[in-house]
A and B are shown apart, each in its own frame.
Chain A
Amino acid sequence: MFIVLLWKEIREHLMTFRFAAALVTITLLIVCSVWFLGEDYQRRLNSYLQASEAAALLEREYVVPSEISPTLFRPPSPLSMFTQGEDRRFGNSIQIKRWEVPREATGNYGTGLLMAAQAPFDLFTIVATVVSLFGILLTYDAISGERERGLLRVQSSYGASRLTLYSAKFLGAAVCLTIPIVLGLTASLVALNFILDIVFTPGEWLAVGGVAFASVLYGTVFVALGLGCSVLVRRSSAAIVLALLVWTITVVVVPSVAQGAAGTLSPLDSQFAISSLERGTEADARKKHEELADKYPAYEFGYWTSSFSIKSERFFKYDSWEQGYRDAESFIRGLELVMQARADTIRQAYRESEARKAEQSETEQLLAVFSPSHHLRHALTSLTSTNYSRYEDYLEAARRYRAELLDNFRRKGYFSDNVLSFFSQRDPEEIDDAKYGERVAYYRSQLESGKRYDEFMGPKFLEPVSASDLPPFEYSFFGMDSGSVIWPLGILAIELALLLATGLAVFQRYDIR
């Protein structure tokens, strides 16, 4: 009996104008958005590859270890063509600096700064608004409409239980809503594969399956909502209004209100306080730098370029290498302490600010807990690795990279432990007073002949940095966190179960006349 009823429901839906509208609208929108975003992904990927290649070339030109300041790029997520999430909103490159702990990324792969500031139009938007709306439209008169037309009585006379009847109506509509989603996604995947040559890994295929499942689950929540309204209210016209009101509140209003309210309930630190701290500590560090430079004048450029080398004529001020060496060592040791203290102060302020932001996000999540679209967003961005935590992973990977790079340098004695190596990567024994004298004489002769420093300095005295100095950057663009997927999907499933149970409970006592 269930199968007969289910088949009848499906057939009836397939013949309706609403189904045709849903099929055309949802399928076309999914195909178009995935196609455009697929092209956008390819552009960003090319941009990423070019930038990485250029950065690798630049790394080969490093001469002095202290000049090493590699740029780490964040690759675009291949699944961002389904859900953009935060993939384009945040920066994608971090320049590793000795005296700054990475805290945010900058740069973009050709996404206009202003466009990245607008809500993306992607599968999430389509499913959250269009699919859910059609979910309601398919079922709002499933019970009340049939009662009004007298068909419900006829159906009940077949001997089917109300549970069977209700389940068949729900599943029939759910299947019909699934058709455009699956059709749209399948057509998009075919187009991506055959036209844009985008091929997914098994893990990514699993995520695409998850995206489809989450979209269908979300759609069925609204099918259940429409059905529930159809039972709760006896007239179809009232049922659609009730369902639309719930839809408006949960899909349109709550996410915006939750964000606005969370911002008011858990306010963030003033941006002025942080930027003022940065500027204040910068001024303080500059002052200390100048004091150190006055005390130990064995340096060349300002510390902002992190470039210290024996290129400088300042060394000429010393009568012997020994004195220059000692001063340079004291200068660098002192400056390292100053700069590291500044980096730690700023990092601490950012940590506190981050904690408040996390608190605000929790408030927002709490306020939006009844909004299915809020959970859908979490599920889809987690599945496609376009959520904020993936960006955080990137920042964390950059911080690990910096720590490893500094460890490498310290191990090799490139910093204070061995100023000579830091300068030129040569053994200290190689440069004695006699050699220093030779070098100074050479510099002077070159300068007197009218040459600039950069014309006669370089590989002649400075060996290139070895590739082993740079640790590999371990960050994968795809990293699905199953915990952050299961949680929102679980809530959606609970919402679905509650809606179905409530609807069924009311339907059991429903007057079918």
Chain B
Amino acid sequence: MFTVARRAIVDGISDSKYIFLTALILALFAANGFVFSVSYQDQLDDYRKTVAENYRLMQPACSNLQDLAVFEQSLKKPPSPAAFVADGGRLFLPNVVLLNAFRRWEIIKQHAVNERSPIQQPLDWNFIIGSLVTLLAVLLSYSSVSGEKQSGTLRQVLSNSLPRFRFIIAKYLGLMFCMLLTLGLGITTSLVTINLLGGPPLSSDMLRIIGWAAVFAVLIISFFLLTGLAVSSLTGNSSVALVILLVFWIFAVVIVPGAGKLAAEQIIRVPSDAEVRAEVEAQSAAIAKATPPEATGWTNDPSSPNARRIKQYRDSLRAVGQRIEDEYLHTQISQSMLAQQISSVSPSGLLSDSLQYLCGTGVYGLRKFTDLAEEYRQQLNRFVVERDALDKDSPHLVFGFRTSIYAGAFSSDAVAAASVPRYDGLWTQGGFHGKSYIPLWQLFYLLLLNLNMGLLGVIAFARADIR
């Protein structure tokens, strides 16, 4: 058995396609480290400047609690230090939330992105492993049984009273060794490049992510190798095995993830922004219609008997707008997550989904970002309410809109800028991306796929005609 495994390793490593593809993969891992390190520094710089400017612009507003409450903050999503593992289409996703203490107003994109360039697969581990390493696994395994059968060596080997299942396991282990060598060298190359170019340090969170990413990569590689062995055993013909495996590979890497997107768009429909606006306007108009005129317009007189009703009216308008826009955002997030879940039927889609989940990028990162932004807004709102409660002269009618100030509605005392909650602090407190972010069901599904394909391979080889 060890002889077979050793021969598989020697054959694999000395194969020209292995050498060439491994060189290509290593070059891509190096490029991944280089491109990430350079862009990460710029992103981090942009992020820090945005945070500082937001804070600087907020300072004058601190002289009046009402100004502070309506001051529109620009919260930026910090760049993920693990984006080299799974970028998640970072440049094409929103990364800035505009909000004040009363509402989230907009979610926008603010990237140094070239709109002229088409959307391409980012050069991350997800792409390199999901596309190229899996292709290498296919090319190494397609002739592992059928090739030996065609050359007649299989018969010779099995005539040495070596049980068939041992032979196939030895083949699998030998090929797996070759693949792990490529993967290990690739990951090391990427990490060394990032380290040399001053990328983010390898914190314990980062090591945890890298470790899990490696586990997923190993399982994906193992699955493609087992598929290659199974198909090679089933067909007994290298040429046919290669065609089948390439069709399988292209389905796994290109077609199923793409089809997942089309299917998700059919299942979950997202309204247009004009429809969303119309819905907000219609519901606001309904509220306005149901409200008596004296309870709508602020008369700068907080002692008026209508003052509280006006606050309630304005609060309802704000709440309805926020609710509809929240629903709109959640529909979009659900649609994207469904697309990823459907794509996860394919191992490459599963890898992409798992790595994004692990790194907090893609739709998962966006969801966390908007959740934290809402948490921050609530903190800010509580802060304004608490400060207002300290002002004995205030009528305590804390309400507001995007920029409008309702004179006299609540305290206009100054607050210390240092005491105002800060969003960047909230992001850091939340840990890297939360400690429980391990894609467990994806892990289980991959293990199951491996087990099934392994069994199929063993059974197929056990019943194969080796003549």
Contact = CB atoms under 8 A, between A and B. Distances in A.
Contacts of A275: 50, 74, 110
A262 B117 contact: yes
Contact of B266 (A36, A133, A252): A36
A196 B28 CA distance: 44
Given A114-B333, A252-B131, A253-B132, A260 B243 contact: no
A134 B116 CA distance: 30
B258 A360 contact: no
Contact of A17 (B240, B261, B271): B240
Contacts of B271: 110
Interface residues of A, number: 82
Contact of B114 (A113, A357, A452): A357
Contacts of B28: 253, 257
A108 B270 CA distance: 10
A118 B110 contact: no
Interface stretch (B121-129, B179-187, B201-209, B434-442): B121-129
B196 interface: no
B329 to A, nearest CB: 9
Interface in A86-129: 86, 89-90, 93, 106-121, 125, 129
A348 interface: no
A217 interface: no
A125 B115 CA distance: 19
B273 A107 contact: yes
B136 to A, nearest CB: 9
A161 interface: no
A255 interface: yes
B119 A117 contact: yes
Contact of B261 (A90, A115, A252): A115
A268 B332 contact: no
Contacts of B50: 272, 275
Nearest to B247: A21
Interface stretch (B15-23, B166-174, B315-323): B15-23
Interface stretch (A241-249, A311-319, A322-330): A241-249
A240 interface: yes
Contacts of B193: none
A54 interface: yes
Contacts of B293: 452
Contacts of A364: 117
A250 to B, nearest CB: 12
Most buried by A among B17, B147, B266, B278: B17
B429 interface: no
Contacts of B114: 263, 268, 357, 360-361
Given A121-B261, A272-B46, A54 B274 contact: yes
A363 to B, nearest CB: 10
B158 interface: no
B324 interface: no
B246 interface: yes
Interface string B49-73: 1100100010000000000000000
Given A54-B278, A117-B89, A271-B110, A130 B115 contact: no
A90 B333 CA distance: 19
B242 interface: yes
Contact of A270 (B45, B254, B336): B45
Interface string A255-283: 11101111110011111100110010000
B121 A114 contact: no
Nearest to A236: B239
A279 B110 CA distance: 14
A237 B238 contact: yes
B111 A271 contact: yes
A377 B119 CA distance: 11
Contacts of B270: 110-112, 115
A137 interface: yes
A257 B131 CA distance: 14
A110 B259 contact: no
Interface in B335-366: 335-336, 339, 363, 366
B289 to A, nearest CB: 15
A320 interface: no
A351 to B, nearest CB: 14
* A-B pairs, 9 with minimum CB distance: A121-B258, A117-B92, A114-B336, A112-B332, A110-B272, A112-B270, A51-B274, A260-B35, A361-B116
9 contacts: A50-B275, A86-B115, A112-B265, A114-B336, A115-B332, A125-B254, A125-B258, A270-B42, A452-B293
Given A115-B332, A275-B74, A452-B297, 5 more contacts: A50-B274, A90-B115, A114-B332, A255-B121, A270-B112
